[in-house]
Structure 1
């Protein structure tokens, strides 16, 4: 394992927008950083491409979607996020393309963030597990739409005016991080945030939900500490716009 030290994330910003495919995508490791940022007085909003309606095998989509939406809003509130939007793309079959880029560019124009956050768009997790089509499509579209949002000639018919103020896109869950956030103070709320996805977690594992969540979130943060001055951290690959 590489021990190259990670750089601290920039902190000279006020507004961030996190855009991911599913309810729970942000809670699997990123929410502790968001709690740390909102504690510092920064504004963070969420945009979720689907309602996660295909995510629980024992629940039909029409029942599952509202459950997962409620869980996502509750998990966001734990880390100080009150603005949660759903784009209503169909879970499991999101297609990368112009329509997705437009929806995301429109969201960026509405929220006018300096920092945009998304999830790993690479083919794999760690070179071992194949990434899902939704993660790949949304992550790639976010990186593209961050530029689209500032070009008045691309998607000129969105409700909001062009926004060229995105300074960085931060990708969580990547195998090649460059930066990190000290989550010493936000770690417990990161755990509690993922715990709000109880219906999803109980369908996913026979393990105690609290044990599963705590081991996962605290484990990732501790693992990163050796690359960040011994401090528990959440990592990102940072792209400068």
Structure 2
């Protein structure tokens, strides 16, 4: 794996507001505490989220952008970027790949964190179609698009030189092979998640459920009782 000392910039690419917080907010908080620059790129504004029609799509999008900004603040992230693709209809198109490749060349991260592009039959929640589409498009943007100067040559006209991402961490997949002990920052992850009131405010026992899942993953990682972990599949993309 990429040594921690060689990670100075991280790009987290997700489909919706709250995805980064469910999958990686603890790891992000640990990165931020070490002085790593973390950028969130959200493909949609989450305008089709929520559990009633009290708001129209534009109102929901505005609310969820604000919730994501509050959540990001909990874990030390201030650089948030929204692409504005329609929620619920994302596909791994060339247009999406280009937008992600553009951001990779702008941010120039050593590490990208994104969704696993495959369906997880053990735990279905992370397998939203938008998640899988964004994960696939991000991997394509990492390899070959962002590093290939012949891909999307107009990006060169924007002054965006090719950039090679060295490693990708995939969230939500069935084959985790890297665990991060987030026990010291658990409260910040929970605070980030609870910032998404429109999504989780109505869920009875939400915090206890999240704690239980993270504790289960910690046991899978071989950590002692009382610890909490996030899990990823690491892909060497150098």
- Residues 17 and 111, structure 1, Cα contact 8 Å, conserved in 2: yes
Hey, which of these two has a bigger chunk of helix by percent? 2
Residue 150 of structure 2: aligned partner:
153
Distance across 2 between alignment mates of 1:167 and 1:9: 8
TM-score by length of 1: 0.88
Match of 1:226 among 219, 224, 235: 219
Count how many residue pairs are aligned between Structure 1 and Structure 2. Answer: 228
Deviation at 1:224, TM superposition (A): 1.5
CA positional deviation for 1:30:
1.4
- The answer for the alignment partner of 1:87 in structure 2 is 83
Contact 1:9/1:181, CA 8 A, preserved across alignment: no
Q: Is there any run of 5+ residues in structure 1 with no aligned partner, and where? A: 1-7
Q: Which residue of 2 aligns with 1:186?
A: 185
Q: How does 1:67-146 map to 2 (within 5 A)?
A: 67-126=63-122, 131-146=127-142
CA 110–125 in structure 1, closer or farther in 2 if over 3 Å, else same: farther
CA distance in 1, matches of 2:13, 2:36: 17
SS at match of 1:29: helix
Moved more, 153-162 or 41-50: 153-162
CA change 1:128–1:112 in 2 (3 A) is: closer
> 1:65-111: CA deviations, max 9, x gaps?
00000000110010000000000101111121111100110010111
- The more displaced of 152-161 and 62-71 is 152-161
TM-score (norm 2): 0.90
Deviation at 1:125, TM superposition (A): 4.6
DSSP-derived class of the 2:230 partner: strand
In the TM superposition, structure 1's runs of 4+ consecutive aligned residues that sit over 3 Å from their partners are: 127-130
Is 1:32 the counterpart of 2:16 in the alignment?
no
Mapped partners of 1:215, 1:120: distance in 2 = 25
Task: Give the superposed CA RMSD.
Answer: 1.8
Name stretches of at least 5 consecutive residues in structure 2 with no aligned partner: none
Preserved contact between residue 125 and residue 175 of structure 1 (Cα < 8 Å) = yes
Match of 1:20 in 2: 14
- Contact residue 29 and residue 220 of structure 1 kept, 8 A: no
The structure with higher relative contact order (CA 8 Å, sep 6+) is 1
